[in-house]
Amino acid sequence: MNGQAGELRAGSAPGGAVAPDLRQLLHDYAERRWQAVAESLTLGRPLPPRDLAALGPLITGLGPQSDEIIGIVDRFATGAAAESIGSTRAEDGPGAGFRTQLDMILSGFAQLERATRSEELPDSGLGEGKRPKVFQSDLWQMLHKVRESAELSYAREIDLVELDRRIIFLLHSRGPLVPAGLSAAIGVDKAQVSRSVKRLLELKMVQREQIRSPVALSRKGEVLADKLVRLAELRNRELSFDIGDRELSEFFSVMEILLDRAVQLYEQEREIAGKTEPTEGDNEPGYGAEPRRSGEPIVIDRSRIVSPLLTLSAYFSRSGALAFKRKTGLSNFEAWVVSEISYDPPTDWARLVNALERDHSQAGRTVNQLIKKGLVLREGRPGRRHGKFSPSGEGQRLFDIIVATSRKRSEFLMAPIPRDRLVAFLETFEKIRRNASAQLERERAFEEFESG
């Protein structure tokens, strides 16, 4: 792990112990949950939902592990309350035994963290372990949270897809741009940009004189952009919480290096592929994108912390799609599923879906395709939720290729960055990821409140 990613990420205490403030917050939450569940069961009422709004400090402190840790503590408190019904313990409260057992659980988190720390070093020249901790997979998962919370937040203002909003933001900050410039700056292919521009033209949010003329915001688009920018500034302040101006400036400087390297990787893969248009069956991103002119810098929007991360992820994903397809015949997502199944087999369904952060239907279709291809083996009772999955001999061979390819790509991405700057960058990224988790939980709580 990097920098502040200690026993329970931010807030960890030296020596492997859970930080006292987080431990106390977890104790307080568990006892409140015990009381609420015991009262509901005693009165014959449905179990109360989690108090998401009150979980903010825990979600922020625990970072990427918050869902798992809070879920375990929640289930422990619920089970303990259910066991107490009908006994005198229900009237006396959780009791000392409850607190002792909870302490054992929290200590177990710290021990597990210490045991796995050496296996989770970033695959970027900082160390190697059994399971590569590749930065780009952490980036994708963090952006998945940002996108979900953004959809919930921006939908209250106007129903626009993410790409349409990104174009509006870019035109607002940079002024008119030709479609090729939009494609290169955002990191998506020309066809996607064209469809987005067409939608915005129909909504009269943008305007242009001719089909190849620069695209500019209309008056209506400027008004909407002003509203969205104010909301984006609020979200940006939340994501950059606990990150100073100097730290943020250094983060953007490293981002420019990473983005340039990611574009180089993409250009290399395009050259190896020897084509710019998809052939039949090529459905992965990476074809039809606007190539960057040699030495031409990519436009970076420094006003929003997520913008360059989205662009970096897009370019890396597109080059990865070409690389994995060329070396294994698998799509990006298929390669990811094979990897998750192969790291520590057999893998059960719940662990797989949680790692992929995709819906059950998409994960299920992909797993079934891999089984049909003879790359994945299934055991267990009927029904995917009861299955356990392992790689076949051929699946293991492709997994070894995927790991080697991922390491090589990650090493190329990070190669020009000195160790001290890389460590600082990863520490800042960890803060952003922690803030993104807290932001998503808050938006989910708002959505639940408004729909309830």
Which of 110-114, 277-281, 431-435 has the lowest average pLDDT?
Answer: 277-281
Domain end (from 239, 258, 279): 239
Whether 273 maps to a domain, the answer reads no
What pLDDT shows up at residue 207?
Answer: 94
| Final residue in a domain of this structure, among 239, 268, 286 | 239
**Global confidence as pTM:** 0.59
Task: Check whether residue 143 and residue 98 sit in a common domain.
Answer: no
Q: Give the pair of three-digit tokens for residue 17.
A: 């112990």
47 or 63, which is more confident?
Answer: 47
State the residue range of the domain holding 52. 14-117
Distance CA 244, CA 146 (A): 20
- Kindly report the CATH number assigned to the domain that includes residue 384: 1.10.10.10
Both 160 and 87 in a single domain?
no
Q: What is the pLDDT of residues 117-172, one digit of tens each?
A: 433 334 443 333 344 456 777 888 888 888 888 888 888 778 888 889 889 988 99
The 10s digit of each residue's pLDDT in 339-359 is: 889 988 888 888 887 777 666
Taking only the tens place, the pLDDT of each residue in 17-45 is 345 467 778 888 888 888 888 888 888 78
Q: d(Cα 28, Cα 420) in Å, to the nearest integer?
A: 38
- The residue written with tokens 């979600």 in the block is 59
Q: Is 258 a member of any domain?
A: no
Whether residue 386 is contained in a domain is answered as: yes
The CA-based angle 355-333-407, given to 5 degrees, is: 80
Burial (CB < 10 A; 0-12, 13-18, 19+), residue 310, is buried
Q: What is the DSSP string of 419-447?
A: HHHHHHHHHHHHHHHHHHHHHHHHHHHHH
- Give me the percent of the chain exceeding a pLDDT of 90: 18
- Tally of domains within the chain: 3
Lookup result for tokens 């106390």:
24
Residues 189 and 141 in one domain: yes
Name the phi and psi angles at 391, rounded to 5.
Answer: -75, 145
Last residue of one domain, picked from the residues 239, 258, 275: 239
Residues 385-427 have pLDDT tens digits of 667 899 999 999 999 998 888 888 888 888 899 989 998 999 9
pLDDT at 109: 55
304 within a domain of the structure (yes/no): no
